[in-house]
Amino acid sequence: MASPEIETLTQALARLPGLGPRSARRAVLHLLKKREAAMAPLLRALEAVNERLVTCHVCGNVDTTDPCTICADPRRDARLLCVVEEVADLWALDRARLFPGRFHVLGGRLSALEGVRPEDLAIDSLIRRVAAGGIDEVVLAMNATLEGQTTAHYIAERIESFPVRLTQLAHGLPVGGELDYLDEGTLAQALRARRPVS
Amino acid sequence: MASPEIETLTQALARLPGLGPRSARRAVLHLLKKREAAMAPLLRALEAVNERLVTCHVCGNVDTTDPCTICADPRRDARLLCVVEEVADLWALDRARLFPGRFHVLGGRLSALEGVRPEDLAIDSLIRRVAAGGIDEVVLAMNATLEGQTTAHYIAERIESFPVRLTQLAHGLPVGGELDYLDEGTLAQALRARRPVS
Query: Does residue A9 belong to any structural domain of this protein?
Result: yes
Task: Give chain B's radius of gyration (CA, Å).
Answer: 21
Residues in chain B: 198
Mean pLDDT of B75-88: 92
Residue in chain B nearest A96 by alpha carbon = B1
Count other Cβ atoms within 10 Å, centred on residue B121: 21
Question: Residue A47 belongs to what domain range?
Answer: 4-52
For residue B20, what is the domain's CATH number?
Answer: 1.10.8.420
Contact yes or no for B43 and A47 at CB 8 A:
yes
pTM attached to this predicted model: 0.70
Angle (deg, nearest 10), helices A21-33 and B87-95: 130
Average pLDDT for A25-47: 90
Are A11 and B10 a contacting pair, CB within 8 Å? no
Contact A95, A101 (CB under 8 A): no
Instruction: For residues B121 and B45, state if they share a domain.
Output: no
Residue A120 and residue A159 in one domain: yes
Q: Is A190 among the domain residues? A: no
A·B CB contacts under 8 A: 154
Q: Does B165 contact chain A (CB < 8 Å)?
A: no
Angle in degrees, CA B7, B11, B13, rounded to 5: 120
> Three-state SS for A59?
coil
Searching chain B, which residue's CA lies closest to the CA of residue A95?
A: B1
- Into how many domains does chain B fold? 2
Helices (H), B15-163: 21-33, 40-52, 69-72, 87-95, 123-131, 146-159
Rounded mean pLDDT, A35-52: 92
A105 plus A48 within the same structural domain: no
ipTM value: 0.71
Return the CATH number at B89.
3.40.1360.10
Query: Is residue B160 one of the residues assigned to a domain?
Result: yes
Torsion, CA A78, CA A66, CA A82, CA B21, rounded to 10: 140
Classify burial at A1, counting beta carbons within 10 Å of its beta carbon; exposed 0-12, middle 13-18, buried 19 or more: middle
Q: Are residues A47 and A132 in the same domain?
A: no
**Amino acid type, B55:** T
Position A134 in a domain: yes
Provide the residue type at B109 as one letter: R
pLDDT tens digits, one per residue of A94-152 = 877 778 899 999 999 999 999 999 999 999 999 999 999 999 999 999 988 889 999 99
So what's the pLDDT on residue B31? 92
Distance (Å, whole) CA A22 – CA B120:
26
Interface of B with A in 51-90 (CB under 8 A): 52-53, 55, 62-64, 69, 86-88
Same domain, B27 and B105: no
- Whether residue A128 lies within 8 A of chain B, CB to CB, comes out as no
- Shared-domain flag, residues A109 and A159: yes
